Amino acid sequence: MAGRLRVARTIPSLRRSVELYRHAGDRVALVPTMGALHRGHMALVREARRRAKRVVVSIFVNPTQFAPHEDFASYPRTFATDVKVLREAGVNLVWAPSVGAMYPDGFATRIAPEGAAKVGLEDRFRPHFFGGVATVVAKLFTQVAPDIALFGQKDYQQLRVITQMAKDLDLPLKVIGVPTVREPDGLALSSRNVYLSTAERAVAPILQRVLKECAARINGGEEIAKVLEVGRIEVDLAGFALDYLEARHALTLTPITSQKDGPVRLLVAARLGKTRLIDNIGV
């Protein structure tokens, strides 16, 4: 499967490669990442290869989505290993700009998403986050000009924000959400899982277990508010510092009190030691 893989570090180099794909009439897929690739990312790559002739993977640790107290400096960076894995997976092009290439001197434009970006979930704890994500993803979309872009459903609020942004800005591509990849014990794969101690790693899968139990009880007809109240207690008792456990409309992410109000998505975020974990499940 391994083949020739190009690494582009400047906009002109990126666009020359993409123009060759376009000239050949090839469909182009983009998989945006911050590197430190794991099996979840590779599931996105496999789906991209299934849907398009050419696959571009971006690797860029985006500083504008990190708050000053967050882990930008220590975020895992494994570029050489990532490129090797992507070459073996049949990826055609890696877009790996520097911070200066992405945000040159004088850069002065930001996207300020609303809708799903302002519903009191991640935005309540990371108010800077979605503006940084929306800006960098909009740039990636215009730089690569893909036919499709693939994102994991683990970052569900992010997926909804990006899907809405592409629609609102009339961007000529389709945003595709790919199901979360998990460890055998249910823990959602994340580059930040490397921060978990051995003891914390043993506890971490409880988040997914609580989500599944809540979903089953809601499907069984129990009242959503009571189910979530019990779920929050279980997360607390397991040793997490809970940020939220919420039931939301699966498309708008607005609060929901009954399954009759529309498709339900359960979303959770909690800290275990110094590591913040998020997860979600459809009901």
Residues designated as active site: 41
Residue pair 50/90 in contact (Cβ under 8 Å)? The answer is: no
Hey, what are 231's tokens?
């779920």
Whole-Å CA distances, 135 to 188, 218, 265: 26, 37, 26
C-alpha span between 71 and 73 (Å, rounded) = 6
Q: For residue 214, with 0-12 CB atoms within 10 Å meaning exposed, 13-18 middle and 19 or more buried, which class applies?
A: buried
